[in-house]
Structure 1
Amino acid sequence: MVFLTPFFLLGLLAALIPIAIHLIRKEKPPKLMFSTIRFLKKTSKKLILFQHIQQWLLLLLRSALIALLVFAFARPLFDQTVARLLDADPMSVVIMLDISMSMRYGDGFEEAKQAALDVIDDLTSGDEVALIGFSSSADIVRELSTDLDAVRSTVSDISEAGFGTTRYMPSLRLADQLLETSRYENRAIYMISDFQDVGMNSTEDGWKLAPGVAFTGIDVGSLESSNLVLTDVRSPVQLLEDAAEQQILARVRSTGTLYLQQGEVSLSIDGELVDTVQIDLADRSEEVVTFAVNFDSQGSHVGEVKVSGDSFNIDNSYHFTVDVLPKIRVLLVNGEASDNWFDDEGHWFNLAVSSAAQSPFIVETITPRALNAAVLGQNDVAVLLNVGDLSTGQAASIVDYVLSGGSLLLAPGDKVNPELFNRQFADISPATILGRGELGIDDYLVIADFDRRHPILSPLNGDWSARFQAHWSLAADEDADVLMQFDNTEPALVERAVGDGKVILFASALDLEWNNLALQGLFLPFVHETLRHLVQPAYKQRAYQVGDSFSLNPGGDASVVSATGPNGDVLIFNNENFVVTANTPGLIHAIVDGVELDYAVNILPEESNFSRVAVASLYDLIINPDTEPNQTREVRTEQLIAELERPQRVWWWVLCLVMLMLFAEALIANRTYR
């Protein structure tokens, strides 16, 4: 037997009341003095005994009445229904705990952890529970288990929320998949979150939870919030030394339900404060702040823009890196120098690289006769314009220069001997010169195709309208890449990596004798991008957001890499590519084969917007129409109790017995001597 409301059994103590009254009111018979007893009728001992039995029976009957009333209110059930009730409706539950950055606001995360523990405490032995700690994806996953204490311990061990952004759907899908393997039909998902509106960005039209899966949202978000956040910072990535003053732009926005009107934005470079600007948001929600800064020294610089004036400091900083590169030293070997600028082979090239007030190049112009290994070694790139009379020793110096890491740009003209060229530069040339291209009178070629993904050509989106009246027919080397083609399908620009250097061969001259390319608007950026590509390594991204995975070995050929995270912790690599996942905003400091590199990691500004979505909106979006409305465990238990109690109705029969006993008590009481 089991009692559905066992608390009423305490009422059994009331059965002692009649006994207590009887004992309290029990009195010794008084002694009276009579002169004679001959006139009193003698009472038999049997009558006295019978009266005592009636009194005791009446006493027990009254106590039994109280006990039966208590018994009826305790609602007893018999037999196998006990086991059914104790194991009533076991559950499979997935708890989704939001650990995104917004949960760091106020006491939201501690309240969320307590709510998760409360859900676990409401479960009973035999129920199974899973845990998903989520932000943009599932960061913590503990699969379904009946070990409630282990899951409770996992929740308690989560010390703080992370820095990721909020996305509901990926983790809801995972929770739904976990419940596919559940042992029980009663399945439920509890999502504990501040229910940021940004979390709805990844919603998928038409997707619903599986039929029968209930959903309960527990909102722990703050009703009122205020925050200042840096939504965007624009800074240069790479500069050349002696560059002009740079501008760094920072956009500050007030988010939350309570708008902040005042704040302060500061800029620091390499740990030193550069400037501080006060902002006034009284009549607007955001403001753009401009900082002017000069990067005087070569090397890598780290910067930080910081906003203050609110109580939520997690999103108040934005980190960036700026690389200041030395100017590119260009050795121009002019094979057809002339006092007449129109006939000078290097005139148009010099204009392209030196005309700007802040030129990124330092150009040294020599004749072919002055070319030697020493001169080559003092420059980053050598440009040979229509050079056709090099000695064997000079050609060998150029080959050694390229193999040891130098860069070479070749633009042969009418002074070049194809046989000599092919023989002297066979080891490094991207192509073999077959001879002068044959064109009819008044005929010309144009650029018909080019590699739009190549670093030289990807920034050049204009129309290649230059006309080529003369060119060299080339046969590209098997190790070379054809970057541009004429409309007769012959190569126009070919590149080859040789040793530690690079060589680019242009199939025509760079003056006006063979083409009008120098008069086109694309000529200057084409020359600049070509020289940069030959000398400067391709820019490797060093700015990331929380949640990104990237390699600290941008070149892919490093052998020794060590790094410390934003908190100063040494990073441990579990792979050969030195890939890390950015989990904390700040700077990751890496040493790659002895070279120091800094990687900036910043939060996603959208996570700082505390606008909220109603739990009902998410419920309506994901709940399956075939799922019955979610009921609490208490309601389901009451329904099961009513179902089990209805066929037995023990309490009803007990009350009927009480009515009969009341009648018997009244009958006995009226016949009992008092």
Structure 2
Amino acid sequence: MWLAPWFLLGLAGLALPVWLHRFARHTEERQPFASSMFLEPAEIRRSRRHELRYWLLLLLRLALLALIVLAFAGPMWRTTAAPGQGGNTLHVIVMDTSLSMQREGVWERAQRRAMELVGEVRGASRGMLVAADHRLNVLVQPVFASDAGRLRAAVQQLEPGFSRLDYGALVAGSVSWAPGPGETLQLHLVSDMQQSASPLRFADLSLPPGVRLVLEDVGAGDAAGNARVAAAAEDARTPGTLEVRLEGDPAAIDGRTLVVEVNGEVKERRRLSAASANAVEHVVLGQLPVGEHRLTARLEPADVLPADDARYALLRRVEPRVLVIAANVQDDDARYFSAALQALARPRFAVETAQPGALTTRQLGDFAAVVVSDAGLVNDAAAKALGEYVRGGGALMMTLGPRAAQLRQVPVSGAKLAGGAARTASGKPSRVAELEQSHAILREPGAWLRIRFFRHVAVEPPEGARVLMAFENGTPLMLEQELGEGRMLVFASPLDRQWNDLAIHPLFVRFVAEATAWLAGARFDAAAATVGLALDATSLRRGGGQVFDPDGQRTTMLTGDERSLRFVPQMPGFYEVRGGGRSDFIAVNPDPRESLLAPLDEDARARWLALQQPATAAARADGVASGTERLVPIWFWLLLAAVALAFVEPLVANYHLSVRREA
């Protein structure tokens, strides 16, 4: 077997020394002579004899050239090892580069141990280096011991990151590291052996057959000395007050300082005690202007794991605009909707009431949600504008009233309406019989059962729609639809006292406000992400832009393509997305499980190692129990032989030259 068979073409160069020896010119030597006057002229006859000369020297030169060519072709000698005897080994050195490896002293020990493992790659065995966090990155493909310098250089340059390692994902990825013929795979996991890195199912740690796992523990052995800022968010009950939750070792918090910054300006510096551990600190921020504010809460000075000492969050002071469409802005339905939306304390809606013509003349993208009091008010042009708005990420709530009863289908939604008199049912009041209690806007199922509906528009739910409420006869009362990037609610009865008594119940205000807030939630919620986890940038409601990391370096480009509106943040801090005339921030924090430094106990490690299947069993399953093939590289020995011949050839050449001169 040859690693580089194309080098064998160099054997054609063996013809060169043969040609030189066969056609070498004979140099005539001049000898002094007294006089040629008494010699008769004669015809000079010349002949060239082509014969090989100096056979020993020729053979040496041919052997030298052949050995060099064969060594570069990389010959491998195939042998068979008896069952139970080891062949070559592929040493896969996996270095844990997750955030917890930044703990004081851990990474230095990891690098030293990795260097020792590189030194154990000898003979015909090979070594491979992999960096493992939220992804598996092969830094050095399998190389022989002669190229161990590449492994050492990669280990020296490697640094831990900020994401999380899952041992289950590591084991699943190891399937692709197939050893070569005659090799066994030995996986060296250089890690601090965090307990929180274990998968939910212990069975996910089962290694592929034939893989031998070696746990190289470089951790500190305990979880002491670390504290972190677990959360930082505004108090929902007290606007303007920040809640900061601290977790970790009380001794690591005692005497440290909590620093709170808003947009880079320090708002609070508070001395902490051991009692602050696993507790909540309240910080008064005061009134913040309308807009998006970057909040940082961190502990000073740094502890044994500085990467989790800070927490990043975004505080948005926004007043989402809601457009209410009614036939007359002074009608009851318009006033009911406006009053209900303005009753919500948080978020505080800025409500604007307008007639149907505003749907085609106003920029709907400026509104967090649009409420239409009767679907029959929407003409074709308005339906087109509303459809584009919803599919682009907008939120729409539409009720079906007297005008909608004359339609064949609901605008934008596409839901079909029942024909003839079945559109409006009168007589005995209908009540809600089925209700999706798990939905965020239906928190009071008992209150809905008391609402009387005298009339409603019978609607057939389209494909993909979700029925949230239905009457006794199964007719839907409320539908939820996802259209493109937006959402839509269809309510089959208007806010008219001749149709129902919803408006006189306390439930009405909460329902309208919470439904609108839920619909438009993604349009005013601050964007947040976790290091190492993909972020769907469609939540930013933008067509694209350039993404800059917390250091101000451009990391990726988001285009309008839905598939490209995803990226994976690599470090904590505030990412910025610029484009389209605006700038959006994303608060990125490390995975909280990386701060849990408790190591795997001995029992868990023993159970993990017990899951691996011995190599002999794997070989038996493959039907090769009679012996294991191994490939032994012999290029090194050929090169040594070539070096030896390179010293012998000048000696033989000098010998022939001296004999020729004496002759």
Which residue of 2 is the match for residue 353 of structure 1?
Answer: 341
Which residue of 1 is the match for residue 580 of structure 2?
Answer: 593
Which residue of 1 is the match for residue 101 of structure 2?
Answer: 103
Matches within 5 A, 1:64-213: 90-140=88-138, 142-146=140-144, 148-149=147-148, 151-153=150-152, 155-175=154-174, 178=177, 181-184=179-182, 187-202=185-200, 204-205=202-203, 208-209=206-207, 213=211
Residues in 2 aligned to 1:186 and 1:481: alpha-carbon distance in whole angstroms = 55
Structure 2 unaligned spans of 5+: 1-80, 617-663
8 Å Cα contact 1:270-1:303 kept in structure 2: yes
2:441 corresponds to which letter in structure 1? P
TM-superposition CA deviations, 1:342-398 (whole Å, max 9, x none)? xx66675465334456783455679x8xx875998599577666899x9xxx97997
Structure 1's 432 and 276: CA in aligned 2 closer, same or farther, altered over 3 A?
same
Structure 1's 334 and 161: CA in aligned 2 closer, same or farther, altered over 3 A?
same
Residues in 2 aligned to 1:534 and 1:217: alpha-carbon distance in whole angstroms = 50
1:322 corresponds to which letter in structure 2? L
Matches within 5 A, 1:484-499: 484-493=469-478
Which structure has the higher relative contact order (CA within 8 Å, separation 6+)? 2
Over the aligned positions, Cα root-mean-square deviation in angstroms equals: 4.8
Residues in 2 aligned to 1:426 and 1:610: alpha-carbon distance in whole angstroms = 56
Residues in 1 aligned to 2:231 and 2:301: alpha-carbon distance in whole angstroms = 18
Which residue of 2 is the match for residue 567 of structure 1?
Answer: 551
TM-superposition CA deviations, 1:260-283 (whole Å, max 9, x none)? 5222112212222222222111x5
Tell whether 2:241 aligns with 1:247. Answer: yes
TM-superposition CA deviations, 1:535-577 (whole Å, max 9, x none)? 676467721111101243436761x411111222211349851
TM-superposition CA deviations, 1:81-119 (whole Å, max 9, x none)? xxx9xx996433222222121221223213212221112
8 Å Cα contact 2:523-2:540 kept in structure 1: no
Which of 302, 305, 326 lines up with 2:297 in the alignment?
305
Which residue of 2 is the match for residue 603 of structure 1?
Answer: 590
SS of equivalent residue, structure 2 residue 229: strand
8 Å Cα contact 2:347-2:517 kept in structure 1: no
Number of residue pairs matched by the alignment: 516
2:586 corresponds to which letter in structure 1? Y
Which residue of 2 is the match for residue 62 of structure 1?
Answer: none
Structure 1's 399 and 158: CA in aligned 2 closer, same or farther, altered over 3 A?
same
Which of 473, 482, 497 lines up with 2:457 in the alignment?
473
Residues in 2 aligned to 1:268 and 1:139: alpha-carbon distance in whole angstroms = 36
8 Å Cα contact 2:262-2:296 kept in structure 1: yes
Structure 1's 326 and 578: CA in aligned 2 closer, same or farther, altered over 3 A?
same
Which of 443, 446, 449 lines up with 1:461 in the alignment?
443
Which residue of 2 is the match for residue 316 of structure 1?
Answer: 309
Residues in 2 aligned to 1:500 and 1:550: alpha-carbon distance in whole angstroms = 15
SS of equivalent residue, structure 1 residue 103: helix
8 Å Cα contact 2:233-2:244 kept in structure 1: yes
Which of 249, 259, 271 lines up with 2:264 in the alignment?
271
Tell whether 2:508 aligns with 1:523. Answer: yes
Residues in 1 aligned to 2:558 and 2:353: alpha-carbon distance in whole angstroms = 51
Residues in 1 aligned to 2:549 and 2:300: alpha-carbon distance in whole angstroms = 24
Residues in 2 aligned to 1:495 and 1:623: alpha-carbon distance in whole angstroms = 50
Structure 1 residue 317, shift from structure 2 partner:
1.0
Which residue of 1 is the match for residue 637 of structure 2?
Answer: none
8 Å Cα contact 2:129-2:140 kept in structure 1: yes
Structure 1's 337 and 547: CA in aligned 2 closer, same or farther, altered over 3 A?
closer
Residues in 1 aligned to 2:91 and 2:397: alpha-carbon distance in whole angstroms = 68
SS of equivalent residue, structure 1 residue 571: strand
Residues in 1 aligned to 2:484 and 2:363: alpha-carbon distance in whole angstroms = 19
Residues in 2 aligned to 1:481 and 1:297: alpha-carbon distance in whole angstroms = 40
Residues in 2 aligned to 1:467 and 1:350: alpha-carbon distance in whole angstroms = 21
8 Å Cα contact 1:476-1:482 kept in structure 2: no
Residues in 2 aligned to 1:497 and 1:521: alpha-carbon distance in whole angstroms = 28
SS of equivalent residue, structure 1 residue 226: coil
> TM-score, normalization: structure 2?
0.64
8 Å Cα contact 1:588-1:600 kept in structure 2: yes
Structure 1's 436 and 365: CA in aligned 2 closer, same or farther, altered over 3 A?
farther
Structure 1 residue 189, shift from structure 2 partner:
2.9
Which residue of 1 is the match for residue 36 of structure 2?
Answer: none
Structure 1's 124 and 387: CA in aligned 2 closer, same or farther, altered over 3 A?
closer
2:584 corresponds to which letter in structure 1? L
Tell whether 2:232 aligns with 1:233. Answer: yes
8 Å Cα contact 1:470-1:508 kept in structure 2: no
8 Å Cα contact 2:372-2:399 kept in structure 1: yes
Structure 1 unaligned spans of 5+: 1-83, 339-343, 630-674
1:131 corresponds to which letter in structure 2? L
Which residue of 2 is the match for residue 643 of structure 1?
Answer: none
Structure 1's 293 and 125: CA in aligned 2 closer, same or farther, altered over 3 A?
same
8 Å Cα contact 2:263-2:294 kept in structure 1: yes
Matches within 5 A, 1:380-459: 411=399, 416=402, 422=407, 434-435=420-421, 441=427, 443-449=428-434, 458-459=440-441
1:590 corresponds to which letter in structure 2? V
TM-superposition CA deviations, 1:43-78 (whole Å, max 9, x none)? xxxxxxxxxxxxxxxxxxxxxxxxxxxxxxxxxxxx
8 Å Cα contact 2:253-2:276 kept in structure 1: no
Query: Which structure: larger Rg?
Result: 1
Structure 1 residue 584, shift from structure 2 partner:
1.0
Structure 1 residue 628, shift from structure 2 partner:
10
1:291 corresponds to which letter in structure 2? V
Structure 1 residue 133, shift from structure 2 partner:
1.9
Which of 492, 495, 503 lines up with 1:510 in the alignment?
495
8 Å Cα contact 1:404-1:500 kept in structure 2: no
Structure 1 residue 336, shift from structure 2 partner:
11
Structure 1's 95 and 112: CA in aligned 2 closer, same or farther, altered over 3 A?
same
Which residue of 1 is the match for residue 4 of structure 2?
Answer: none
Residues in 1 aligned to 2:227 and 2:174: alpha-carbon distance in whole angstroms = 34
Residues in 1 aligned to 2:253 and 2:433: alpha-carbon distance in whole angstroms = 57
TM-superposition CA deviations, 1:245-302 (whole Å, max 9, x none)? 233222212349x645222112212222222222111x57433211233453333222
Structure 1 residue 230, shift from structure 2 partner:
1.4
8 Å Cα contact 2:315-2:526 kept in structure 1: no
Residues in 2 aligned to 1:452 and 1:622: alpha-carbon distance in whole angstroms = 46
8 Å Cα contact 2:343-2:509 kept in structure 1: no
1:606 corresponds to which letter in structure 2? R
Structure 1 residue 623, shift from structure 2 partner:
3.6
2:599 corresponds to which letter in structure 1? R
Structure 1 residue 595, shift from structure 2 partner:
2.3
